[in-house]
Amino acid sequence: MTRPLPPHFSESDLTSALNSLRDTLGAARVFTEESELAQYRDPFPVLEADHFSPSAVVLPHTVEEIQEVVRIATSSGLPLSPISTGKNLGFGGAAPRLPGAVIVDLRRMNRILEVSEKFGYALVEPGVTYFDLHQHLQQHGSRLMLDVPDLAWGSIVGNTLERGVGYTPYGDHLSIQCGMEVVLADGDVVRTGMGALPGSNTWQLFKYGYGPQFDPMFTQSNFGIVTKIGIWLMPRPAGYQAYMITLPREEDLGPFVDALRPLRLDGTISHVPTLRSLLLDAAAVAPRSAFHPGPGPIPDSVARRISEDLGIGRWNFYGALYGPDAVRAATWSVIRDALSGIPGAGFHFAGEHPSPVLATRAKIMAGLPNLETYDILQWHDNGGHIDFAPVSPATGEDAMRQYELARDRCLEAGKDYMGNFIVGRREMHHICMLMFDTASPEDRATTLELCRTLIKEAADLGYGEYRVHPALMDDIAATFSYHDGSLMRLSEKIKDALDPAGVLAPGKQGIWPRHLRGSGL
């Protein structure tokens, strides 16, 4: 494995900058050995395994140390790549977008600074995982519930900054973020919202503060290093019941989504449900080879047999009811009535069906952190994935169009369609998991090219993605091209103003500092 240098850096430039960092943090918290750097590479590489490699890793323990780190970086031009805990599977893991950037690993900053039972919030540092906060709530007998993503080992700050989602009523993670502390490239420390008022008692209660609200500008961005965020926690409901609705045919997707939309829009379904394709759920049961030993995509005849054997649909919808018995019963009857127009649809409560996915979703929608969704990576040997993740209007027509586009391109690439619609109030995140054998250079290349094609064809149909692997960040940025790229010009103006040396996460989300624009890195 090679250890890339930052652009325009010689070995001695790097050594000099790292020595300054060692002076600040101590030598034990500046890593440059291959064995240490290896854990920061993308676990699911689509380019060469060492393409997105750091030149070093530093581990600050405090905000003051981060201030020193960015000052050294700004004065020496050393590019940094801050991570919270560095999960982010399918989106590059801990790897920096810019080869040779120095990772600023914040995992040691893992304090739960405050939990308010009265108001329902927590204030956390970047190293705090969903497991950590959940455990803390349990240990303190909290009546609050934490919204968790599919894999709960990740950082709350990291997930929120990447605009990740969960599945309870608090599933839109940016919408439940309240208050932020950010270190800027010049070392300045900003508290947003009401946190800018000394002694403030509403930093985690009121988002907007006074004047421009900046928090969302620091998500999916490289304008600062976020060192604290507040998140809201939901009072645990009086009752809970997860359910699954199975749809027997591929083409049921369209009418189902059309029937679903009004239930999300009016809040009958008050949380973030998911609609998953057959093979994605099959992957939770067994490796691909157990269903189909041959190469190429799983044929329709086999898919039908899998559906029958597992007792699940070609599409499977996972939702939950929250609240007291009477409310849940009334809500369930409205949902059942509205969605029972699909011939052959099956309605199953958790606990009354053997599906392991239903059991997992029941935990996640109840805010119980786990890693069970990781099982789907057994699908391939050396299994990994990158995601094609377009946003879709919540209509049957759009869902079918996106499904058919993704399915057909997957089939042409010799891959299975493994998709998941995460259903918002008015739109859906369509997460197409492009699974591949990470040890196969051919499969890596095929997968990257497939994702690139999908991004382009989706953009031609008016669909954009919400998030992507570093290898394709520029591709997606290029699709947001209105007015000859005015949104990117805005990002670049702000980037240049806040980080004139261009040292924070260069290239993240396609935003490059001035000296690296157009460099094709």
Decide if 166 contacts 177 (C-beta within 8 A).
no
- Could you tell me which stretch among 22-30, 194-202, 289-297, 371-379 binds a copy of itself (CB under 8 A)? 194-202
Q: Site for a copy of itself (CB under 8 A): which residue of 15, 135, 395, 446?
A: 395
Residue placing its CB nearer to a copy of itself in the complex, 327 or 411: 327
Decide if 477 contacts 489 (C-beta within 8 A).
no
453 binds a copy of itself (CB under 8 A): no
- Could you tell me which stretch among 40-48, 249-257, 259-267, 412-420 binds a copy of itself (CB under 8 A)? 259-267
- Write out the two tokens for 236: 């645990």
120 binds a copy of itself (CB under 8 A): yes
In the block, tokens 């900003």 appear at: 190
Q: Site for a copy of itself (CB under 8 A): which residue of 38, 64, 497, 519?
A: 497
Residues in the chain: 521
232 binds a copy of itself (CB under 8 A): yes
329 binds a copy of itself (CB under 8 A): no
159 binds a copy of itself (CB under 8 A): no
DSSP character at residue 144? E
Least distance CB 176 / a copy of itself (angstroms): 10
Per-residue burial over 141-171, b if 16 or more Cβ lie within 10 Å, else e, is ebebbbbbbbbbbbbbbbbbbbbbbbbbbbb
Give the integer Cα–Cα distance in Å for 242 and 321: 6
Q: Site for a copy of itself (CB under 8 A): which residue of 175, 340, 382, 519?
A: 175
211 binds a copy of itself (CB under 8 A): yes
Residue placing its CB nearer to a copy of itself in the complex, 145 or 310: 145
371 binds a copy of itself (CB under 8 A): no
Give the integer Cα–Cα distance in Å for 321 and 324: 9
Q: Site for a copy of itself (CB under 8 A): which residue of 2, 138, 340, 481?
A: 481
- Could you tell me which stretch among 23-31, 258-266, 348-356, 413-421 binds a copy of itself (CB under 8 A)? 258-266
- Taking CA atoms, 477 is separated from 180, 455, 466, 499, 507, in Å, by 26, 10, 10, 20, 10
Least distance CB 196 / a copy of itself (angstroms): 4
68 binds a copy of itself (CB under 8 A): no
119 binds a copy of itself (CB under 8 A): yes
Q: Site for a copy of itself (CB under 8 A): which residue of 209, 319, 384, 396?
A: 209
Give the integer Cα–Cα distance in Å for 226 and 215: 10
Give the integer Cα–Cα distance in Å for 272 and 322: 12
- Could you tell me which stretch among 216-224, 284-292, 378-386, 446-454 binds a copy of itself (CB under 8 A)? 216-224
- Taking CA atoms, 366 is separated from 86, 168, 371, in Å, by 25, 7, 14
Give the integer Cα–Cα distance in Å for 128 and 157: 8
- Could you tell me which stretch among 51-59, 129-137, 414-422, 424-432 binds a copy of itself (CB under 8 A)? 424-432
Least distance CB 181 / a copy of itself (angstroms): 9
424 binds a copy of itself (CB under 8 A): yes
Q: Site for a copy of itself (CB under 8 A): which residue of 15, 200, 378, 440?
A: 200
215 binds a copy of itself (CB under 8 A): yes
Give the integer Cα–Cα distance in Å for 151 and 165: 11
Least distance CB 425 / a copy of itself (angstroms): 8
Reduced DSSP (H G I as helix, E B as strand, rest coil) percent helix, strand, coil of the chain, to 5: 40, 20, 40
DSSP character at residue 175? T
Vertex 39 angle, CA 61 and 465, to 5°: 90
Give the integer Cα–Cα distance in Å for 386 and 389: 9
347 binds a copy of itself (CB under 8 A): no
392 binds a copy of itself (CB under 8 A): yes
- Could you tell me which stretch among 105-113, 207-215, 361-369, 442-450 binds a copy of itself (CB under 8 A)? 207-215
213 binds a copy of itself (CB under 8 A): yes
